[in-house]
Amino acid sequence: MKYNLSVKEFLEKRKNGEIDYNDFYSTFVTNLKRKNKELRALRVISHSQKGDLNKGKLYGLPISVKDNICVKGVESCAGSKILEGYIPPFDASCISNVKKNSGAIIGKTNQDEFGFGTFSTNSGFDIPLNPLDKTRVAGGSSGGSAAIVAGLDMPHVSLGESTGGSISCPSAFCSVVGLTPTYGLVSRYGLIDYANSLDKIGVIGKTVYDTALLLSIIAGHDEKDFTTINKKAEDYTNYCSPDVPKKIKLGVPKEYFSDDIDKRIRDEVWNSIHYLESIGIDYEECSLEMTRYALPAYYIIAMAESSTNLAKFCGLRYGLQADPTENFNNYFSKIRSKGFGEEAKRRIILGTFARMSGFRDAYYLRAMKVRTLVIDEYKRLFKKYYALISPTMPIFPPKIKDVKKISPIQCYMSDILTVPPNLAGMPMISVPSSVPSVGIHIVADHLQEGRIIKIAYLLENRC
């Protein structure tokens, strides 16, 4: 039997008893292994995380997981050699929620080391390939998640994580849907953090419905994570309907359509905006002047927090280890020199500098003040606009062989459109356009996931 089904079709057929699950799962694993040889998207394929598949909202839907989200009994390395061999004795809260709803955890996806990158080329393991063009990057840092969702012609959803656009970027490059929720809507318990005040666990799927469904399951308050918002999860699939909201207006930030953005991308996003206008949704150009300051503020904050988080990886409690009889300083240096990649070392150095006594006020605390100004600017716009719409990425995915020619600063600048809303903790979604590897980015106010899902669903039907 062929299983070229959408997630919605799969769940309906499972509920009605029309699918032999053993046959489905066997076919899925066979196809997954074959596709993974082509794309190198998954670092680990697991067969023992199926749970009770005859009840719950997911009915055994296979779900892959970014490598920095802990799954009990499955090696979780956050894309880094320094954690190779670490097998968590517990599930992250989002994984527990998936398992309670009969989701089948199928494996861990390749990513940039600890999320440090835009193209998933900073992995300590394999570099995932873009299914649309295997010579090009899948995007990062959740590149493996986007690649396997896009490449596998079977019902499948992946859990990703975003710090500055790590769900939106690969989703755009691979032409899938990437939903990044409000900061604190999904528990970070069990996440191997990059930057605590920025990290969000989200969803990558083939359709808007797929991402809305899984967000409904993983969202909600968690006593294990005091940063989660005390809000009950809702059924976000209710927003996946063709009904057009009445008397709403979208904001189009002019800074996000500058000449620095590839013209083909700008033109395609404008086509989508005009489509929304044709079905009754008004738009108006607006300004996000703080955008120019958001990127440097983000990298100062992210690097400072990441250097703190990485201090615990010293080869004593978990992961890479060596001869314990050495002097501690030598041991510590040897383990970290061997285990961390080039980008991780760069961020440790820069982040440590930014939070040193004498520099903390000039860099880190000033960056936090800029962050507040960015949030205030978004809040001002959302008093007037239902949501904001723009391109997801300013460029098309580069070829893997060309990534080494891109300087770190140029790489950081690639995040110019996704960093500001993530810095502000806003929910955002990237939905594919009719042009491959061009994503349309929709951002709304805190806890307004329903708005971005609604606009994305309307655009999805057009494309």
Active site amino acids: 66, 141, 166
Environment class of residue 327 by beta-carbon count within 10 Å: exposed (0-12), middle (13-18) or buried (19+)? exposed
Contact 69, 166 (CB under 8 A): no
Cα(109)–Cα(41) distance, integer angstroms = 6
Long-range contacts of 45-52 (CB under 8 A, 24+ apart): 45/106, 45/107, 46/71, 46/74, 46/105, 46/106, 46/107, 46/108, 48/73, 49/73, 49/74, 49/99, 49/104, 49/105, 49/106, 50/25, 50/104, 50/105, 51/99, 51/102, 51/103, 51/104, 52/102
Look up residue 277 and give its amino acid.
Answer: E
Residue 236 CB neighbour total at 10 angstroms = 25
Collapsing DSSP to helix, strand or coil, 259 comes out as: coil
Cα(110)–Cα(409) distance, integer angstroms = 23
Chain CA centroid to CA 318, Å: 25
Contact 170, 397 (CB under 8 A): no
